[in-house]
Homo-oligomer: A and B are copies of this chain.
Amino acid sequence: MPDTATHRIFNFSAGPCTLPLPVLERARDELVDYGGTGMSLIEMSHRSMPVVSVFDEAEALMREALSVPASHHILFIAGGATFQFAMTAVNLLHGGKTADFTHSGAWAKKAIADARKVGRVNLVFDGTDANYTTLPDPAGVACSDDAVYLHLTSNETIGGVQWKAFPRVGRPIVADMSSDILSRPLPFEQFGLIYAGAQKNIGPAGVAVVILREDVLAQCPGDLPGYLNYAGHVEGQSMLNTPPVFQVYMIKLVLEWLKEQGGVAWAQEAAARRSEAVYDAIARHADFYRCPVDERCRSSMNVVFRLPDEDLEARFIREAEAAGMSGLKGHRSVGGCRASLYNAMPLEGAEALASFMDRFATTHG
C-alpha cells in the first residue's frame, strides 16, 4: 500500500459511526486555515459571515434533502437526543399534559421516563413482553382522547426494529429519528416535531437536528429558562447561544456528500441493498444465524443477529475485527451481534460482512 493511501476499516459501530471519507478528508484539509482566512472556522466568531453561511447552507441542504415544508423550522441544538427527551417534555407536556407513547425498546424507554417527570404518559403500544422484537401495525394505533401528541422512535438501534410507515392519528407525531433520519423520505404532514442526534446519518456527536412545526412551536410555554425554550432557538436561528460550529460544519459537508450520491432516494435504495446483503446471509445459514426481529419491521440501519452460542459470538466478533470489520458486538444490554449500516457505510462493507458470515458459518456450523 502506498504511503499516501488512507488506512481504512469497515466500521459497523451503532453511533458514533462511520462518516464519509471525503467529508473527513475535506475537514482535515480545511481545519487549520479556512478558505484562506488565516484562521480555523472553529476560531471564528459565530456571528461572522463564514460561520453564518455554514449554518444557512446546512439548514438549506437539510430542507432540500428531506423536502421539509415551510411549515417546519429546522434547528441545530447542542446536546443530542437525550437532551431532546427532556426538552420535548418540558415544552410540550408542561402543566401536566398527556401524551401517548409507543414503547418500542431502549430508546423509547428513555423518552418515556423523561415525559413522566413532566406530564402524563399513556402507552398505546408496549413491546416489553415481546422483548422489543416487533412494532404495531401503524393502521391499528389509536390515540387517547387527551393526548396532545403521539411519540414514537422510528428506529431502535439496540433492538433493530424500525417503523416502515407511520400512524395517522389526527394529532402530531413527535419522533426520535436519531438512527434513521436521512435514510428515506418522510411524510411531514404527520409530524409535529422530529429530533435526531447527529451521530448516525448526519454528522459527529454533540448536536441534535430538530424539525418543528409552527403550530407545535406555538404550544410551547414562554416562561422556560432560555436554552430550554424552542422559541428562543427558532428566533436565534440556531444561534441563541454560541453553537457547536464544528458539528454544523460537518453536517453541511455530510449533506453535500449525500446530495452528490443522489440524496435521500439514493440513501433509501442503498440502505435496502446493504441490509438485504446481511439479512440474506442470515437466511442462507438459518441453522447458524438467527435474527430475532419480526420480519415486518426489521431495521435497514441496525441488523441484529445471534449465533448458536456466546462463545461463537465472541469468536465471530474477534475474527471479524481481525479481518478489518469493527463494531459488530451487540449492545451490552442484549448481547449478540449487530451490524450498523448507516448512510456512510459503503455497499462493499455490507458485502464483505456477508461473505465473512458465509465463511464463518461454513467453518463453524
User: Which residues on A are within 8 Å of B, measured CB to CB?
Assistant: 6-9, 11, 13-19, 21, 24-25, 27-28, 31-33, 36-40, 42-46, 48, 78-83, 85-86, 89-90, 110, 113-114, 117-118, 197, 199, 204-207, 223-228, 240-247, 324, 326-327
Contacts and interface: CB of A to CB of B under 8 A. Distances in A.
B39 A31 contact: no
Contact of A86 (B19, B40, B227, B327): B227
A120 to B, nearest CB: 15
Contacts of A240: 82
A113 B207 contact: no
Contacts of A81: 241
B6 A242 contact: no
Contact of A241 (B13, B80, B225, B247): B80
Residues of A contacting B: mostly? loop
Given A18-B39, A28-B28, A86-B224, 20 more contacts: A6-B32, A8-B33, A11-B38, A11-B39, A11-B43, A13-B44, A16-B46, A24-B31, A27-B31, A28-B31, A38-B326, A78-B83, A80-B241, A83-B241, A85-B225, A199-B242, A204-B246, A205-B244, A206-B244, A244-B247
B206 A78 contact: yes
B206 A247 contact: yes
A332 to B, nearest CB: 8
A80 B11 CA distance: 30
A18 B18 CA distance: 29
Contacts of A118: 225
A25 B244 CA distance: 20
B16 A21 contact: no
A79 B82 contact: no
A18 B40 CA distance: 8
Contacts of A114: 225-227
A9 B34 CA distance: 12
Contacts of A40: 19, 24
A235 to B, nearest CB: 14
A326 to B, nearest CB: 8
B8 A227 contact: no
Contacts of A78: 78-80, 83, 206-207, 244
A82 B32 CA distance: 27
A16 B37 CA distance: 15
Contact of A117 (B7, B205, B224): B224
Nearest to A247: B206
Residue of A19, A205, A207, A324 contacting most chain B CB atoms (<10 Å): A205
